[in-house]
Amino acid sequence: MIIVKTAEHIRKVLADYSPFDPRVAFVPTMGALHEGHLALVAAAREMAPVVVTSIFVNPTQFNDPSDFARYPKSLEQDILMLEAAGTDLLFLPEVSTMYPKGTDQLPVYPLGRLEQLLEGHYRPGHFQGVCQVVHRLLDMVQPGLLVMGQKDYQQCMVVRQLIQHTGLAVQLQIQPTIRENDGLAMSSRNRRLSPQQRQQAVVLFSTLQYLARNARRLPLLTLEAEAAQQLLDAGFGTVDYATIADAHTLEPVSDPAPDQPVVALAAAWLGEVRLIDNLPVP
Ligand code: AMP
CA of 257 relative to ligand 1 center, distance in Å: 31
Task: Please report the pLDDT score of residue 206 as a whole number.
Answer: 98
Residue type, 255: D
With a 6 A CB cut-off, is 177 part of the ligand 1 pocket?
yes
Number of domains in the chain: 2
Element (H, E) at 281: none
pLDDT digits (tens, 9 = 90+) for 88-143: 999 999 999 999 999 999 999 999 999 999 999 999 999 999 999 999 999 999 99
The overall average pLDDT reported for the chain is 97
- Our answer to whether residue 9 is catalytic in this structure is no
| Residue with CA closest to ligand 1 atom 6 | 29
Distances (CA, A) of 210 to 30, 98, 118, 154: 31, 42, 19, 21
Whether residue 98 sits in one domain with residue 142: yes
CA of 268 relative to ligand 1 center, distance in Å: 18
In 3D space, the residue among 193, 184, 178 whose CA is nearest the CA of residue 269 turns out to be: 193
Task: Please report the pLDDT score of residue 29 as a whole number.
Answer: 98
Contacts 24+ apart (CB under 8 A), 110-114: 110/161, 110/165, 111/158, 111/161, 112/161, 113/249, 113/250, 113/251, 114/154, 114/157, 114/158, 114/161, 114/250
Domain of residue 41 covers 2-175
Whether residue 214 sits in one domain with residue 97: no
Residue 181 domain flag: no
Whether residue 67 sits in one domain with residue 169: yes
User: Tell me, what DSSP letter sits at residue 94?
Assistant: -
The pTM for the full model equals: 0.98
| Cβ neighbourhood burial of 74 (10 Å; 0-12, 13-18, 19+) | middle
Task: Please report the pLDDT score of residue 61 as a whole number.
Answer: 96
With a 6 A CB cut-off, is 178 part of the ligand 1 pocket?
yes
User: Per-residue pLDDT for the chain (282 aa), expressed as one digit of tens each?
Assistant: 999 999 999 999 999 999 999 999 999 999 999 999 999 999 999 999 999 999 999 999 998 999 999 999 999 999 999 999 999 999 999 999 999 999 999 999 999 999 999 999 999 999 999 999 999 999 999 999 999 999 999 999 999 999 999 999 999 999 999 999 999 999 999 999 999 999 999 999 999 999 999 999 999 999 999 999 999 999 999 999 999 999 999 999 999 999 999 999 999 999 999 999 999 999
Q: How many CB atoms lie within 10 A of CB 259?
A: 5
CA of 217 relative to ligand 1 center, distance in Å: 31
Whether residue 194 sits in one domain with residue 159: no
Where among 154, 175, 196 does a domain terminate? 175
Whether residue 204 sits in one domain with residue 171: no
